[in-house]
Amino acid sequence: MKTASPPKIFLFSLLALLFLFLNFKNTEIQIPKSEIASPCQTDNTTFLSGEELTYKLYYNWNFIWLSAGEMTFRVIDEDDQYHFSVVGETYESYDWFFKVRDYYDTWVQKDNLLPIMSIRNVTEGKYRLYDYITFDQSRQTCANERGKAKNDIRERKSYQIDPCMHDMVSILYHARNIDFTQYKTGQSFPIKIFVDKEMWPLNVKYSGTEQGKEVRDLGTFNTLKFTPEVIPGKVFPEGAEIKVWITDDANRLPLIIESPLSVGSTKAILKSHKGLRYPLSAKVK
């Protein structure tokens, strides 16, 4: 049986957090325009420079959970900018099956968290990609260079983008700063990102609170839950639901992401954290 490439799909889905799967379908419940969180106005109240979050990645195949790798998110201070650094790697013991070494770097303005520049440099099995984007938010354009490596650029192109456009990393930090108290259970919020030469409209459903969610090796937390809806196909089976839990406190830390696939399923669990802006008050034991 031919399987999907689990680490590749999963490392991308982790970045998605987290709100970024690319095959969303429109939900029936829509929020009035006045209630939609503006991607242009992001007041950062959730994180500081020095924050570091590490996730352990699991793949389930034929009822066996495999510990596949880890992904670490770092926030680095660079004067009037934040540098978001994301590194995803499979464990050496998993490399024989499918080796992943993914590096994502995005620079954003501190005052609005909008991206200025992003670099995606990935090695996933035999697949290689170097993807360099510079954003001109004022002119609503971006310039993109793509190839197999930094010294092997094969495509250069500019694109028109919508106002206040995010990339696949900056949107994570923007989303953490959304005031979810304005949403009712079952409501959805729209987000757009530019990735892989396209703008992608996303809808994510807020599924309410869940008390006492257990996180392996970290404890029990009060959480907010989100359920992105996906289109079934090669990656997702019929009726698939992605589930995301974040801390119900001022940090808004993503704790767990669960996603079924057409072959197997995946899970990301927060393994460690440091440099948090606030005490982790969502932890109950």
DSSP states along 47-72:
--TT-EEEEEEEEEETTEEEEEEEEE
Does residue 21 contact residue 230 with C-beta atoms inside 8 Å? yes
The string over 19-35, giving b where at least 16 C-beta atoms fall within 10 Å of a residue's C-beta and e elsewhere, is bbbbbbeebeeebeeee
Residues of the domain holding 254 = 6-273
In a domain, 281, yes or no: no
The residues, any chain, with a CB within 8 Å of residue 113's CB and separated by 6 or more, are 42, 44, 82, 170, 173, 174, 177
What is the full per-residue pLDDT of the chain (285 aa) written as tens digits?
A: 333 333 343 444 444 434 333 333 333 333 333 344 455 778 899 999 999 999 999 887 777 778 889 999 999 999 999 999 999 999 998 888 888 899 999 999 999 999 999 999 999 889 999 999 999 999 999 999 999 999 999 999 999 999 999 998 998 899 899 887 788 898 887 778 898 899 887 777 889 999 999 999 999 999 999 886 655 444 445 555 678 999 999 999 999 988 765 555 688 999 999 999 999 999 998
In a domain, 246, yes or no: yes
Structural domain total, the chain: 1
The C-alpha atoms of residue 128 and residue 110 are separated, in whole angstroms, by: 31
In a domain, 284, yes or no: no
In a domain, 278, yes or no: no
3-state secondary structure of 6: helix
In a domain, 283, yes or no: no
Give the global pTM. 0.84
Q: In the structure encoding, which two tokens stand for residue 11, read together?
A: 């490392």
In a domain, 153, yes or no: yes
In a domain, 147, yes or no: yes
Q: In the structure encoding, which two tokens stand for residue 28, read together?
A: 């029936």
